[in-house]
């Protein structure tokens, strides 16, 4: 079912590479340059679903096809964000999007079952024993393949140089980053990278790109991760562009089977870009203002702190999930977390989310909601857009902002009362966590 997609996507990638000369200005060229890796990754993900040498499950196929479609949407979004003509898009896309949507629908109808693997020490089994030991080690330098230190005491002085030297194809490659503030933009493209710092607020990666400054959301990230099976622990990623520069991403992740543990992501609008694939965040802090957890990954945030900062327009939205096809197995699940005000916040309306795309899907499960949450809970994007097609849910939340008595009355909003329904969005089910999380060494809870 995915073979026609692969053919069409491969042709589209070739077409896209040849369109640089047709860009009429620098902003168009900026948007086009994002599309190159996105189309390349689309071909890669579709190819993974048809690789005769590696059998994949129905769940994996749905994940990678979802990512392929998200990549094409992300390319289009860049042109819209920068306000430049999108006349190039038909030349890139031809009929790839519709072919992927058809494949998603056909694959969802495949009733082959997924057998949930066992859990080990609170982690899904896709996190292997060696990774668990590394994550829980009190002396990461002793396990590192490379050490980064600004004072010259390591193998590299910058994180980017250590990442660039990492080799794909082997086992886990561990980069230990000593305490310090690293002003650089990092793109992790290799698979199986583990980045370990000295702790939140000690190892700091910082940048300041933004849409207001001429980047796309995709291109504004201080740290971008595309290599699969990435693990990060014990560092802070910041975007300091400020609340008036619009979209300005701290972390962007499109890494499948990725884990972030004890990390902090600090920005304003669009802080944490959970772009695509399966992701898990444990005991992390996320700071922002507008749509500051957004994207179209299948992602679970567990035992995290979500802090709303003071925004320029006096309205905060915690999430903006971007599902564009009802058959994509994507969404944002916020489980056993805490939503509260950052120290700077005062008297601002804060909403749990708004629908960025047609089939936006977000749930809050057993999460503490502070009094900053507006009684309506959720905010429209524009008029009645997506209010009937989205899926927003709340289950057994606590705190002064958790009452559902005055929540929105949209068709797509649900006060979840069934444990079976809520369990669909736990790590064990939503991201098939049992097959990969135990090996990462990150403590996690499979179910409710």
What are the Cα distances from residue 252, in Å, to 86, 225, 317?
23, 6, 18
Alpha carbon distance 180, 151 (integer Å): 9
* SS3 per-residue string spanning 160-227: HHHHHHCCCCCCCEEEEECCEEEECCEEECCCCEEEEECCCCCEEEEECCCCCCCCCCHHHCCEEECC
Sheet with 285-288, side-by-side order of all strands: 180-183, 203-207, 236-239, 264-266, 285-288, 305-308, 338-341, 368-369
The tokens describing 207, both together, are 């940048």
What are the Cα distances from residue 213, in Å, to 210, 246, 287, 342?
5, 9, 21, 25
DSSP bridge partners of 224: 187, 252
Residue 291 known to be catalytic: yes
Alpha carbon distance 121, 185 (integer Å): 34
DSSP bridge partners of 282: 261, 302
Determine the Cα angle at 237 with ends 132 and 123, to 5°.
20
Helix H or strand E encompassing 395:
strand 391-395
Coil, helix or strand at residue 26: helix
Tokens 């990774």 found at: 131
Helix H or strand E encompassing 288:
strand 285-288
DSSP bridge partners of 364: 334, 394
Chain length of the chain? 448
φ and ψ at residue 141, rounded to 5 degrees: -60, -30
The tokens describing 217, both together, are 């959301």
The one catalytic residue in 291, 310, 325, 370 is 291
Residues marked active site are found at 291
């Amino acid at each position: 079912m995915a073979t026609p997609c692969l053919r069409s996507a491969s042709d589209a990638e070739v077409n896209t590479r040849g369109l640089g000369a047709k860009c009429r200005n620098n902003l168009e060229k900026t948007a086009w340059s994002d599309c190159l890796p996105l189309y390349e990754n689309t071909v890669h993900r579709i190819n993974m679903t048809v690789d005769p040498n590696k059998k994949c499950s129905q769940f994996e196929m749905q994940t990678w096809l979802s990512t392929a479609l998200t990549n094409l949407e992300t390319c289009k979004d860049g042109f819209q964000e920068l306000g430049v003509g999108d006349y190039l898009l038909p030349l890139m896309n031809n009929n790839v999007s519709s072919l992927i949507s058809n494949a998603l629908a056909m694959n969802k109808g495949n009733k082959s079952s997924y057998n949930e693997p066992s859990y080990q020490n609170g982690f899904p089994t896709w996190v292997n024993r060696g990774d668990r030991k590394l994550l829980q080690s009190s002396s990461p330098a002793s396990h590192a393949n490379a050490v980064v230190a600004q004072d010259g005491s390591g193998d590299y002085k910058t994180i980017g140089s250590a990442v660039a030297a990492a080799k794909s194809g082997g086992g886990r490659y561990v980069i230990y980053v000593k305490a310090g503030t690293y002003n650089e933009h990092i793109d992790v493209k290799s698979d199986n990278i583990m980045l370990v710092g000295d702790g939140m607020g000690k190892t700091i990666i910082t940048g300041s790109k933004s849409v207001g400054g001429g980047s796309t959301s995709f291109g504004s990230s201080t740290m971008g991760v595309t290599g699969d099976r990435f693990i990060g622990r014990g560092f802070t990623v910041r975007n300091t562009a400020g609340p008036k520069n619009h979209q300005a991403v701290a972390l962007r992740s499109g890494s499948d089977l990725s884990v972030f543990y004890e990390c902090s992501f600090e920005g304003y609008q669009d802080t944490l870009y959970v772009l695509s694939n399966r992701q898990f965040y444990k005991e992390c802090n996320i700071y922002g203002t507008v749509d500051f957890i957004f994207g179209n990954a299948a992602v679970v945030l567990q035992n995290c702190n979500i802090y709303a900062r003071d925004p320029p327009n006096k309205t905060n939205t915690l999430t903006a999930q971007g599902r564009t096809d009802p058959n994509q197995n994507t969404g944002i699940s916020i489980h056993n977390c805490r939503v509260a005000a950052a120290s700077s916040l005062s008297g601002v309306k804060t909403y749990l989310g708004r629908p960025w795309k047609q089939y936006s899907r977000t749930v809050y499960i057993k999460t503490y909601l502070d009094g900053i949450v507006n009684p309506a809970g959720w905010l429209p994007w524009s008029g009645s857009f997506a209010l009937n097609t989205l899926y927003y849910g709340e289950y057994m939340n606590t705190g002064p902002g958790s009452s559902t008595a005055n929540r929105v009355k949209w068709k797509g909003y649900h006060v979840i009362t069934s444990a079976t329904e809520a369990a669909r969005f736990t790590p064990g089910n939503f991201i098939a966590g049992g097959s990969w999380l135990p090996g990462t060494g990150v403590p996690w809870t499979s179910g409710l």
